[in-house]
């Protein structure tokens, strides 16, 4: 008997993705760095928070919608811009279609496997993500292309220090798939006939080409070529961030903030919003969970810019907890990829439905009529849970902040 394609939790989507995908592909999704302490803490921290539900006074109807950088969304949940979603032949286009079907915003990575034009055609509410990579001219070209395609905001990701090495081992990932490579990976791929057959039916072989990094008149590089350019580019200054914000000229989200002083500098650089994030545990291991850092940053700058959070969100209750601690919305990265691997576009829609159901239950149980009413009083917060990084240095840093350009 065929298994029901519907799943009831993100954990089940992950289990199905693990069974369906070649181990190298699944290992790339799990990712993490070094000991994996940060990726584990991102998830564990949500479990440390409790709810304080009400017994009477529940609302028959609840409003879960909000806006992010002026763009309406049916849920305070955005698809995070994760690179090369080639776990499915339709990749980011399938995810964008699912986002459109559920009324949420799509984040598209510069390192995506599908071009921005195709993704925006599938979901007009798309935010394009940019790394500080290459020359200023090449970054302007990428921004211009995203703007012309119809992207409604820019996400700039900075929290990456090229930390390598995982205690459980990094998967071997080819740049492109030719016959020689196919033979080498056959022992890993052949035991996953469902995944292989889906690609065979599409008429396309999986590869790691990143079309949104294609230079004018040139060929799209492979992932590792684009990654190499990124590694070789000198890190940006706050003046560079202010320049990017001015060149984009529209809603601008800075992703990767963990410190209060950095959040304040970001505000001075002119950002519209920021995401409290440790890159899903893929950057410096032992960085605290993003949700532990959220309250201090939201308190410091939440009255000036929109504050989002990403890292470790697996349930609708996690979304409610993040909003109660000051986030306007959350971004989800691994969860939709597991849904995509488990059941394509329908699997991503399934993940979004799970989050909607859990969030709605939390808002109801806490006695609210909309997500905007969530607050710290709705939570049981253990002593020492919240951390404030960069608070002692923020006053000194303020004297040296550049003016927004």
Which of 300, 297, 306 has the alpha carbon at shortest distance from 258? 297
Determine the length of the chain: 405
Sign, Cα dihedral of 198, 204, 209, 215: negative
Burial class of 334 by CB neighbour count within 10 A (0 to 12, 13 to 18, 19+): buried
Task: For tokens 């693990």, name the residue.
Answer: 18
Structure tokens at 242: 């202010």
The yes-or-no answer on residue 279 being catalytic is yes
Structure tokens at 218: 């040139």
Please report, for residues 92, 112, 236, 246, the alpha-carbon distance to residue 136 in angstroms, rounded to integers and kept in the order given.
26, 20, 11, 13
Task: For tokens 């809603």, name the residue.
Answer: 251
Structure tokens at 120: 């925006």
Catalytic residue among 59, 279, 303, 368: 279
CA–chain centroid gap for 246, Å, is 24
Positions marked catalytic: 279
């Amino acid at each position: 008997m065929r298994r029901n394609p519907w799943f009831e939790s993100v954990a089940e989507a992950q289990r199905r993705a693990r069974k369906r995908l070649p181990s190298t592909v699944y290992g790339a999704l799990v990712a993490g760095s070094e000991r994996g302490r940060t990726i584990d803490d991102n998830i564990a921290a949500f479990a440390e928070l409790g709810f304080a539900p009400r017994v009477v006074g529940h609302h028959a109807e609840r409003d879960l919608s909000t806006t992010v950088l002026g763009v309406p969304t049916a849920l305070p949940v955005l698809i995070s811009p994760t690179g090369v979603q080639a776990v499915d032949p339709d990749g980011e286009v399938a995810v964008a279609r699912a986002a459109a079907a559920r009324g949420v915003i799509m984040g598209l990575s510069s390192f995506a496997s599908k071009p921005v034009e195709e993704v925006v055609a599938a979901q007009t509410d798309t935010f394009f993500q940019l790394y500080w990579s290459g020359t200023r001219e090449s970054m302007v070209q990428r921004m211009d292309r995203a703007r012309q395609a119809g992207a409604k905001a820019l996400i700039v990701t900075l929290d990456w220090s090229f930390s390598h090495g995982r205690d459980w081992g990094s998967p071997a990932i080819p740049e492109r798939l030719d016959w020689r490579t196919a033979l080498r990976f056959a022992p890993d791929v052949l035991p996953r006939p469902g995944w292989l057959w889906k690609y065979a039916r599409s008429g396309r072989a999986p590869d790691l080409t990143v079309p949104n990094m294609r230079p004018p008149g040139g060929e799209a590089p492979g992932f590792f070529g684009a990654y190499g350019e990124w590694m070789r580019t000198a890190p940006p200054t706050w003046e560079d961030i202010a320049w990017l914000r001015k060149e984009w000229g529209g809603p601008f989200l800075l992703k990767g903030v963990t410190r209060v002083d950095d959040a304040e500098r970001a505000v001075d650089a002119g950002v519209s919003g920021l995401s409290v994030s440790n890159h899903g545990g893929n950057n410096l291991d032992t960085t605290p969970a993003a949700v532990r850092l959220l309250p201090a940053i939201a308190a410091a700058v939440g009255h000036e810019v929109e504050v989002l959070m990403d890292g470790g969100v697996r349930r609708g209750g996690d979304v409610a907890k993040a909003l109660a601690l000051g986030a306007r919305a959350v971004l989800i990265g691994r969860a939709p990829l597991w849904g995509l691997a488990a059941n394509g576009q329908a699997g991503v829609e399934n993940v979004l439905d799970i989050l909607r159901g859990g969030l709605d239950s939390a808002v109801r149980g806490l006695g609210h009529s909309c997500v905007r009413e969530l607050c710290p009083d709705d939570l049981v917060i253990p002593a020492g849970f919240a951390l404030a990084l960069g608070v002692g240095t923020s006053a000194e840093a303020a004297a040296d902040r550049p003016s927004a350009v």
